[in-house]
Chain A
Amino acid sequence: MSKKFFALASLLIILSLTLGACAQPRPATLKIAILAPLSGAVPTFGVSTRDGALLAIKEWNAKGGVLGRQIEAIVEDSQCEADPAVNAANKVINQDGVKFIVGEVCSKASIPVSEIAEEKGVVQISPTSTNPNVTVKADGTTKQYVFRACFIDPFQGLVGASFAINELGAKTAFILLDQGNDYVRGLAENFEQAFVEKGGQIVGKETYTSSDTDFSAILAKVAEAKPDIVYLPDYYNIVNLVTAQAKEKGITAPFLGGDGWDSADLDRAAADGGYFTNHYSEQDTRPIVQQWVKNYQAEYGSVPDALATLAYDATNLLLAAIQNAGTDDPAKVKDAMAAIKWEAVSGTITFDQYHNPIKPAVILQVKDGQIRYVTTVAP
């Protein structure tokens, strides 16, 4: 009996030693996880984000990688929802041993992922999550390991409000928002605050839920209130439904939104005449923008949207920070990131104390089936 036990025990020890040795090969590549919503509510956002990030990695690999190592991308579908995003983050950190994450796209998914990243000491840079809570903890301190490549909701709300008042001459605004969406709520609250501070008047505010399709009841109220502008900072799927129904209700006030409008699936006929704030315009003439548009077109055959651009910028920022740190130790990379100054496609980026980039925003208009560049607003 004891002999048998000894044999079994020694077998187990030998097995665990060999398996242990197998499980830890020398890391030949530097792994970067890309968390993008490839399915779910906003799959076009996910595809653009993945493509932008992969192109950045491809360009770095062509130049010899970072720190002499090739970069390996691990793409996970995080569905723009908290639970799948958390599962994907745990998978890449615990199973794949990833120390760097690019993602998620949506604030409501990025916020829970950022808590994991901060706890595990993994550097996360979200390309497009604009809610302040992505990089800031509940107690107001900055999450040391979490960054973003886009400006935040207060800024988009502020830009939207000052554009409405200064350029469009709006005096009254009606706000439509999805109370259950952090991104939409963040933009709407900051628009409201800035619009009132600048002397505008909010004549109505209505909420809906993301599964609504019939907006007739609240649009009847908008038609009754006759505002100068309707602020609708939601994603393109809701924008398509609301603007299509608004046209039939005799609402002539222009709609104004945020970067959630930026999608190839935006119904340009329905949203005609609407404006939105965005991160970049491919009509920008800076050489870095034109070079990026050219490279993206060569790779994927289409013009890059803001999602792809920010994912490209975010991945570049992360890799530049690793290069500057001279090591793949996340604790050093995060310090290099906080101190970076990088000329990105969406403008020259530096980080403020809350790890939000300081850079300009553009205003675009949907007109006659085209997206037209209107103006750039610096912070």
Chain B
Amino acid sequence: MNAQPPTLLERILKGKWIGKGFLLLVGLVVVWWVGGKALQSPSLFLQQIINGIQLGFVYALIALGYTMVYGIVRLINFAHGDVFMFGAFVSYFSVGLFQLHLWPVRVFPGLSPTAAIILGTVSVILLSMVSCAILAITIERIAYKPLRDAPRISALITAIGVSFFLEYFGALPFVFTPNFITYKRPFEIVTWYVKDGIHRLEIGTEAPPGSVIFSNVLIIIIIVSLILLVGLNYIVRRTKIGKAMRATAYDKPTSRLMGINVDGVISTTFAIGASLAGAAGVLYATAYPQVVFWMGIIPGLKAFVAAVLGGIGSIPGAFVGALIMGQAEVISAGYISTPMRDAVAFTILILVLLIRPTGIFGEPEREKA
């Protein structure tokens, strides 16, 4: 009996390109639709893009922690969002209670105001980063290290447990309290608008129609994120510990045989990831000035989606995924409706898992020894 050549329908049903074709179709519809909206009011569209960049860079910092930890210990650290919350609270206390951001003015009275603000803000961010790194190392030693050789599901469930612990311990009245707390920024907001050049926009005045507005929060978020990303890239690619991290990610037992202190490398990875989340916490609270004990849950999940979208385990993937997430969210909030933003974020997760589970930059899972 002759084998029948497959019909077109069978080819469509079996072919791998059905996923790609569907994705292409969805992509075209989105581009056509967003493009139409953009032409209606280019300034509003540009404004939304800027809002999306602000959100995307914060997500990128959180997503990097997910992706680094996953790359090395294959653990989705669900407590990462709560480390981010901890970072925001540390900066809230350091600014609100101890006025850490004012130390340059106190110690060097002759310093120029701009330099004093930059120095003060940098020290607030650094303190949060260090505190989060210490917290993450503690969590790793107490909760994850004993489970290093246990099935992955045990570690995952432990991570969820740690996440709940951090949230509800934080909600206790003598810790962070369950209240919404207004966050005091370490610097004053300065706003500019772009129309025939860049002009300063005084608070309480209106920008002329058709202008695009941005604030120093956006600039600080972009600069701090880029510095941290470049620094991270340098650590991973150029330093000895970075080499050890890459080796551990590739093959843990062999790395150990080669004399790499695997436990130390894992702790360092957690610390670096958490310090990025700590910086993200400060930047997020600065942009959206309110802190509350559950504030890490949603950004944490969104950053997780971003990491999966970019290819979990891939550092450039996390960055690109986060920028796409930021845009997708703000565009859907701006042009469909705000409640849709979460739906769009998690639809992206489902689509990625269905069509390309390894994400944009991800490689197929390597079999481990």
Contacts and interface: CB of A to CB of B under 8 A. Distances in A.
Interface of A: 39-41, 43-44, 179-180, 206-209, 211-218, 220-221, 223-224, 226, 236-237, 240-241, 244-245, 247-252, 265, 267, 270
B121 interface: no
Contact of A209 (B284, B331, B339): B339
Contacts of A224: 41, 43-44, 47
A212 to B, nearest CB: 6
B338 interface: yes
Contact of B178 (A43, A211, A220): A43
A223 B55 contact: no
A211 B294 CA distance: 10
B290 A207 contact: no
Contact of B191 (A220, A236, A250): A250
Given A217-B48, A245-B288, A248-B189, A209 B338 contact: yes
Contact of A207 (B207, B284, B337): B337
Interface stretch (B198-206, B348-356, B361-369): B198-206
A252 B51 contact: no
Q: Dominant SS at the B interface?
A: mixed
A241 B288 contact: yes
A247 B204 contact: yes
A208 B182 CA distance: 20
Nearest to B204: A252
B330 A216 contact: yes
Interface in B295-317: 295, 298
A359 to B, nearest CB: 30
B207 A267 contact: no
B206 A226 contact: yes
Contacts, number: 112
Interface of B: 41, 43-44, 47-48, 51, 54-55, 171, 177-182, 189, 191, 193, 201, 203-207, 209, 213, 215, 217, 284, 287-290, 292, 295, 298, 329-331, 333-334, 337-339, 341-342
Nearest to B217: A248
B298 A211 contact: yes
A179 B55 contact: no
B213 A40 contact: no
Contacts of A206: 337-338
A265 B177 CA distance: 13
Contact of B213 (A44, A208, A241, A248): A248
A241 to B, nearest CB: 5
B182 A217 contact: no
A179 B339 contact: yes
Contacts of B181: 265
A206 B339 CA distance: 10
A208 B339 contact: yes
A249 B213 CA distance: 6
A245 B191 CA distance: 11
A249 B215 CA distance: 8
Closest 8 CB pairs of A and B: A216-B51, A217-B333, A237-B180, A217-B334, A250-B207, A208-B338, A213-B288, A267-B182
Contacts of A217: 48, 51, 330-331, 333-334, 338, 341
A208 B43 CA distance: 22
Contacts of A44: 179
Nearest to B295: A213
Given A213-B295, A223-B207, A248-B191, A40 B178 contact: yes
Given A217-B48, A223-B213, A241-B290, A250 B339 contact: no
Nearest to B211: A250
Given A207-B339, A241-B290, A248 B215 contact: yes
Contacts of B337: 206-207
B289 A214 contact: no
A252 B206 contact: yes
A237 B290 contact: yes
Contacts of A250: 191, 193, 201, 205-207, 213
Nearest to A266: B182
A127 B131 CA distance: 44
A220 B51 contact: yes
Contacts of A223: 47, 207, 213
A221 B334 contact: yes
A77 B332 CA distance: 37
B289 A244 contact: yes
Nearest to A267: B182
A350 B330 CA distance: 48
A217 B203 CA distance: 19
B290 A213 contact: yes
A209 B343 CA distance: 12
The winner among A43, A250, A267, A270 for most chain B CB atoms within 10 A is: A250
Given A218-B333, A224-B44, A249-B213, A265 B179 contact: yes
A244 B288 CA distance: 8
B292 to A, nearest CB: 8
B193 to A, nearest CB: 7
Contacts of B191: 248, 250
A87 B189 CA distance: 45
Given A237-B290, A240-B290, A39 B333 contact: no
